[in-house]
Amino acid sequence: MKKIFNLLLVLVVALGSFTSCEPDPYVKPDIALTPVYAVTDIADHVYKINVYKQKSLLTSWADKIKIVSYETTNYEDTSDDTNYMVKLTAVERKTEVDSEGNKINVVYTYDYEFTANMETGAGTMTYTSYDSAGNPTTSYHAMMMKEDQVYN
């Protein structure tokens, strides 16, 4: 009886090994190259910023790994043949707890203005952040800017 059981077990394992299921068809991912302005080498600020030309989106890297995305509004691209000139507002929505322990929705806005020479890529980023009360803080940063494409 033990031999019959072992023989059947070997037969079932062998049949299972030589039969296969039909592979699932390859589903092509829905991604495409998207044009962006890539802002790098930002003095005393984040690691890198991508400004999407065709989407209301800005991505900001605090370092090579951590990325934050922002919805953008008021996008203006007035670049000419020699200079990049881009303005936009990035919007961040957060839920915070007030002094009484209640959850409140808060909107922070950040104004960006990028101006750079197209030939060298060198330029200046003007960054204005607003706290929840609307008080502005503006800073200026040297940076490099170029046109690029990223998968999105």
- In the chain, where are the structural domains located? 33-151
pLDDT digits (tens, 9 = 90+) for 94-104: 888 988 999 99
Q: For residues 34-53, give the mean pLDDT.
A: 94
pLDDT digits (tens, 9 = 90+) for 26-38: 787 778 899 999 9
The answer to whether 143 touches 40, Cβ cutoff 8 Å, is: yes
Q: In this structure, which amino acid lies at residue 12?
A: V
What is the reported pTM? 0.76
Q: For residues 120-135, give the mean pLDDT.
A: 90
The answer to whether 113 touches 126, Cβ cutoff 8 Å, is: yes
Decide if pLDDT at 5 tops 80: no
pLDDT, position 44? 86
Band of pLDDT at residue 9, cut at 50, 70 and 90: low
Kindly report the average pLDDT of the chain as a whole number: 88
Q: For residues 1-11, give the mean pLDDT.
A: 69
b/e burial code for range 54-88 (CB count within 10 A of at least 16 → b): eeebbbbbeeeeeeeebebeebeeebeeeebebeb
Q: How far is CA 46 from the centre of its chain?
A: 13
Nearest to 53 by CA among 83, 29, 31, 79: 79
Q: Which H or E run includes 118?
A: none
User: CA-to-CA distance for 58 and 73, rounded, in angstroms?
Assistant: 10
For the ranges 57-61, 63-67, 85-89, 122-126, the lowest mean pLDDT is seen at 63-67
